[in-house]
Structure 1
């Protein structure tokens, strides 16, 4: 590897903003995003650029922190960055990186720091004999935490240089590959040129391109060479020594003296031409190419295998001193060698001085050292490549986070197991595992804590299984287990309870004790089903029953569970046929100002009074409506009714209406709102549309266009459930939301959870700094109210003041608040 080459220009490099010479056009987008985030000349804040604006480049980036007196640290790295840098973990000190990559990052940072702008460095390395180049771009950031922060972008260039070909074409020694052409009598009548390098063409006074696949006799200067080759062939045929392999001829008025080397294999001749007058210069050049070559090389005797010479790169590879190495034989490197290796290319395993094994490719070539035959070997270490290939093979069949089987492996295994079970050979049980309270851990402590839980959970399950069993992660927090063999239902139930018990044991994470549970469902093949799809459905129905019954439950599949699914389908049918005007109704939950105690308005919540079932929970029918497309009709009804009702209230009260992601993505959402406002006569500024963060994920451009259209109509936009999953700081900068709604899961735990309190405080502070109101949902106790008042939360809603009430109840609340505002202090 070589040191980084800052701001190197190449023929393919494109000039981009900031004088960055790069091979990739789309790097300009990264630079423009960095520039756009610079406000009043200040560096972009870490929270904005590193957490929200890099988009699809995140996989190729890492965040590096420099702290005086401490090692530079990679806070987090994307998977492609980790693969390029050889990181096994997404966070590590900078010094664990390979020296050249570490130096390139440091070089780019050293250039970017004084300039206060992005700078580029290049990292060169040798991979499998090819010279590869990685572009390393450092973008300085500002941060409220101690230290200096840089966003590091790394991407390998597509172009590579074949080092072996470069070496061959850079030599002054002529090289030809010839095929002997025989006459009817078996005598050689000419030679066809299969390959010729530039040096051979120059020595023969011809063009390499013109001579390739032509006859050697067509080059006038090659007549003497043809005769010499004929004599060598005759000598070989009679088993006598070949004549002197030297040749002289006139070319361009000068006498050319060559030493000719000939090697014959199956009728093919490898011919080398050496200009004797330049032999010493050539030897000097060869020594330089050999000794200083970054590719490991050694020369050994052709007959005995003893080493004659070795370069520094080979000494470093095998971990030996020069004298020690030259005292070895080939068998010391390759204990399993069967005879001396022949010339050419071969894959072999070598051993270092420390006893570790290397997977290498040896490129061997016969040469002359003095008058004795020898072999020059070039070694390419492919140990890491093989490990990478093994890793890729592993990832194709295993979950990369937990190391257990993935969905692909599970699908293959269950198909084979069902086939075997149906044939009457081996019944088996299928268990589905779904973690309880896992989302709460992700919401409060972040995805790193969730990942730690998944890893430990998979390990706990694996320890309870036999070698013949299979555990796989199907996605998220769901696992599947194949229990092979004729286990009894009692055995399966016992194992399921042991799994529930093991998972429920506290998990330690960064000083926290995390508690989760697990729900399990099981099905038996072939008793419950005779194909994989149906068996999965049965196990899933059993799991659904367990989740419905509460945490930590286990159920076998039972036929009546199908009835529950039929009931769900009936509910779907009834929803499709429902008379919305007769069966739907709105309930209203008041929104209270923390500072004044005034009634600010209501959040409208839809209810379904089913003629046959009575009141149906929104948690049951809203997901069904989204799945079936009914949510658009229901959404229009809710908007019309909410606007109509709010138009009868005092003009200072607002009405908040939730928008489904399905509604938001349909093309006429803004027009639907505009029409509802127009029909009711409601001032648009009194209507607030609440959207969740997940709504914003699908199409950034389309989302912003819809938000902008709603702003033009005059309605307010609130970001609901803020902080629960996908918050994008860039959205808060690019669109002026009217309100951030703090999810009830954080409010519930603010009195007992330091993490929840910190999240609530951060959201309120963020809203205050951006001039955005904040509303806390689910306030149920005076203690929660007092904490929110201390943090200066803007507004609150919850059962502490009132549950959702019907239209009559809302009118009563309005009447009670007019001129008699409650005190929340």
Structure 2
């Protein structure tokens, strides 16, 4: 049995899944564990373990191990941990011994196979930490099948010294034979062999670790009968063992040839094989190719030479001059017959020295009439022509095969779209670079690059446009780097650059600025000018980190700072960034645990009509009163809620609360509620709105949903359809922060908004900037022509108010009238305006 370790990431996922849950909070005895086992009797074992827990004390060893789970004894082991000593298996059932590949039922854990030992130790460590059962997995190859084995550790109490655990092991039912499926899909024989040195003068032998059906047919035995047997034990395979043994002895006299020839009789039939051998870590990968057809054609050369589809020629042994050639060879090399027969072998091989295999085949590079080069294998046989020694050559063109191999090798280390390094190459390079830097030889910088607004290009123009942009971006980055540097695409729109050498921070910052500028340059695609940006973060090794994973985390924190502070920016890692991220995680946990009804509250900012001077309604703004932190700014928790997906639940609460409050106001007042693009992506926003209206009894015409252009940048068709559903219900829709996006005008043509809200950045400078004044005037004029209301946000001075009045702006909102207030304050404002309807007039 061969065992394969499960990745730590998979164990972490198991740990997250195996959290205790309360099936009945009022009864500790009903507590169960969500452990991902496929066996019902294992769940019974867990219930028995749970039932044996009294007052939080682990079940006694004597009661559980010797009593209630005795039926599982064959699959159990008892493990004791003693301080300062490795874990020890006191006793184990026969099935457990078989799965763990141990001959004795009382051994140290250290003798277990690595993967089993790791799974057992992980299960014990987790169970020990949580004081409850834990399940881990390991992969095992049992009878040639990949099987997943469950390893369950149950902690016990005991009156004897040490800590005691019951370890249960059982393979799951499902098994996978991936290797067999793959290697049996080819007609080429494939074997994996383990060389065994002979004793004394005895020759080497080879154990068959794996063999496909094609190889088994060539060697005359069923595949299942040959696995884990010696080649010498199978009559037809014995000659292969001798051939490989001879190859091993010949290696001391020179480099090994890439292929060998093998001929033998099998059930009265002559078998002729080409044998390829690749050695890795002491194991041999052997390929068997049936070349009998080629050999037969050589034997029948006189009758079949001219019409043979395989390129063939005859050359003089001493001079290499060509004496004959068939049509296939003329076609391959592009010569006519007279021209070819005027050549010799040196004309075909002007720049390469052929390598000769053990069976006489030659591996060479030939040149055609057009100058193209071909990789060929030349099989030769000595013949006599006109009494003179000559060579009959059969040519196999392996150019495409070599190109395919080179392409496969390239794709294993490069991104297929952009041609830069892939994540695999990047991981290898950064590990080596960190090791070199830590040794004090060569510090280096790691720069992470994330493209800004790339998703908008994909969503609006399609993936072909996005791919074109990624290819151009990778090329622009590559042109800015030195030959010693590495650029890799980590996935999506994220790139990484590894800058080798002792670069100063100023040098790195200068390069980062050049990368930002290069990426920001417009890119042409089918008549479109595509413009994106890039945010960059960098970390220096070994100053910032001495491990590859930690260095990546540092650069990622710097990148996060850049994206948070604005597009097209660059930051180096700073130690406080780690603290900020930890603080952000704590805030996220507190937000997830928040009681919305107690901690969230709505504040209301009045919307004033400039035409009538009266109160038009309020915009609802959510606030979070954290029990530990006090009032948390929406600028902190709203982006966090959007990133984590919690905005959907918060938005639902805001809608329900706002509609409930507004239903108690005078019937002519509206309530405006902001909606996030993330809420639209959830796909349930329309239902959330209609449910809030139904629950509150609020007239749909009194509800106004405010969206930003980010809602329309993603999945525009679906989101426009959702807005149409809201409008059909009677809900008003306003476009917030108008004028700050990319394609505002196109949205106005595609959807009849009820209102445009002029961004406060234009209102702030309206008295001092001609450009801001012109933009405000244009928006108000455009809205009037389209029959759309306008609201100016952020009005703080009388001068701004007067200018907006002159421009005939419809409504205003800002601190000049009132900051956002709580629900009691909103009622006071309503009462105030009801007693004096000309507040602004």
TM-score range (shorter-chain normalised) is 0.3 to 0.5
Higher relative contact order (CA 8 A, sep 6+): 1
Relative to the length of structure 1, the TM-score reads 0.47
TM-score norm. by structure 2 comes to 0.46
